[in-house]
Amino acid sequence: MPRNSRRIDLAELAAQIMTDRGLEPDFSAAALAQAAHLGVPDRASDREARDLTGMDWASIDNDDSRDLDQLTASEAMGDGKVRVYVAVSDVDASVCRGTPIDDHARTNTTSIYTPGKVFPMLPERCSYDLTSLNEGEERPAVVTTFEVDADGGLGATRVLRAWVRSKAKLAYNSVGAWLSGDGPMPEPMSRRPAVAEQIRMQDGVAAVLFEQRHERGALDLRTIEPKAVISDGDVVDLVEDERCRAHEIIEDFMVAANGVTAQFLTNAGYPSFRRVVVEPRRWDRIRRLADDLGERLPADPDPRALNSFLGRRRRADPVEYPDLSLSVVKLLGKGEYAVQMPGDEPIGHFGLAVRDYAHSTAANRRFPDLITQRLLKAAIAGVPVPYSRDELIALAEQCTRQEDAAKKVERQMRKAVAAMVLAPRIGQTFSGIVTGAADKGTWVRLFKPPVEGRLIEGTRGLDVGDRVTVKLVDTDPVRGYIDFVRSSR
């Protein structure tokens, strides 16, 4: 097989890259045996959980998603107020601490999504069935509620255990098209008119939550994520995975729910497992990018000022805005997990402009969310914390490290498919933007197709955000290499 062939076994390649990065692509025999013997928890013996199965719950996810973490519902309270419900699958009810499945989840800490195969954090019997909030199935959940007023302010909140039943499995693209008037009502909603009313209501609530968050300084970053198109095992194209209004409903509700759960644990005197982003590591470069566009940012990192600048640029030049967003994302630095003990000062999340933020809404595919779920259930029941302080700190380091490894696997696989698509175009020139500039290398993302590669010649004087013309000189899908040299044309 030629090194830059367009046909390789993507699933096999992804498994090898995972192994190389300290991740486990396969479940142990013990984990698979445990999954085979699992069943849905016994509702009759669960006397403490509320029955919320009669509500008009729905999931919104990708078209091909099978691991459904959360459902949403809402109800009008009068005076412009709406109560929002976010139900998250109670994975802990099926996957106990210290079991073989839990050990695998603790090792990888996340599901890994690659073009050739999804490597779920939990065995498929769990991830796609027992712990997935599938349409028509009764499932245990941890439910977060919060009231939203007409201006986007949060009122009364609550966290409780409940049983739920999804009335409709919905997908982002079709719901987004319907909300925007560009497509028909999705079929699951046409069967459930009450669900359609719910989604309309949630769309309105998400809009005011969005405005309120961004007035506080939460960053509205819109990067481009290419998605591989595979036909008969061949990668034939890359397409942009565009955001829509349905994405914004879920994003805004999840941000709110994650804040509520973090505050709930703090108020209950329990530790919390936080997602934090400290102040930008390269604020000076962000300021220079603003200067180049005739704008001014303050000397010290300021999320409100940065968001105002980004909002002006999005309105002034929406076509180029994703490229500016990408530069800012790279310059902000990585998020990480941290333990918030009772009485500690919160570190906060710079990009979201919030002090309290815990990953809690995807326990079916993210181990930090499962940890948070166990903390929440302990706080609800008033029982001791299920993890020691030292164990939580070690888990925060493990989750940060393994999430970084998983992202590198996903990124390398995106580069592998991009290398296949670009293989016939060696020698051609492209326009792009610098996405990384350090001693270890300089990286460029092309405008079209939106793929990233390494600049191996002509790097002098370049920094993140600079525009550059490059020539493609080599591709290697197996290693995920796309090599450019700087071009004057």
Confirm whether 37 is domain-assigned. Answer: yes
Predicted local confidence at residue 1, as pLDDT: 37
Predicted local confidence at residue 4, as pLDDT: 47
Q: Do 408 and 449 lie in a common domain?
A: no
Predicted local confidence at residue 489, as pLDDT: 66
- Of 415, 448, 464, the domain-final residue: 415
Confirm whether 90 is domain-assigned. Answer: yes
CA 141 – CA 360 distance, rounded (Å): 12
Confirm whether 5 is domain-assigned. Answer: no
CA 174 – CA 13 distance, rounded (Å): 32
Q: Do 411 and 431 lie in a common domain?
A: no
Q: Please, are residues 466 and 434 in contact by the beta-carbon 8 Å criterion?
A: yes
**Smallest Cα–Cα separation from 165: which of 85, 248, 245, 264?**
85
Domain extent at residue 389: 10-271+355-415
Q: How many domains does the chain have?
A: 3
Confirm whether 48 is domain-assigned. Answer: yes
pLDDT tens digit sequence for 103-160: 999 999 999 999 879 999 999 999 999 999 999 999 999 999 999 999 888 899 999 9
Confirm whether 346 is domain-assigned. Answer: no
Q: Do 436 and 391 lie in a common domain?
A: no
Cis previous bond, 449, omega within 30: yes
**Smallest Cα–Cα separation from 420: which of 443, 442, 451?**
451
Predicted local confidence at residue 304, as pLDDT: 79
Q: Do 185 and 290 lie in a common domain?
A: no
Predicted local confidence at residue 82, as pLDDT: 96
Q: Do 74 and 168 lie in a common domain?
A: yes
Q: Do 170 and 297 lie in a common domain?
A: no
Q: Do 402 and 448 lie in a common domain?
A: no
- Of 392, 415, 438, the domain-final residue: 415
Confirm whether 149 is domain-assigned. Answer: yes
CA 380 – CA 161 distance, rounded (Å): 8
Q: For the chain, which residues score pLDDT lower than 70?
A: 1-7, 214, 216-226, 228-241, 279, 319, 346-356, 489
**Count of CB atoms within 10 A of residue 417's CB?**
28
Q: Do 318 and 181 lie in a common domain?
A: no
CA dihedral for 43, 48, 54, 56, sign (positive or negative): negative
Q: Please, are residues 175 and 186 in contact by the beta-carbon 8 Å criterion?
A: yes
Q: Do 313 and 381 lie in a common domain?
A: no
Confirm whether 244 is domain-assigned. Answer: yes
- Of 366, 394, 415, the domain-final residue: 415
Q: Do 189 and 316 lie in a common domain?
A: no
Confirm whether 468 is domain-assigned. Answer: yes
Q: Do 24 and 109 lie in a common domain?
A: yes
Token digits for 164?
Answer: 């739920």
Q: Do 172 and 211 lie in a common domain?
A: yes
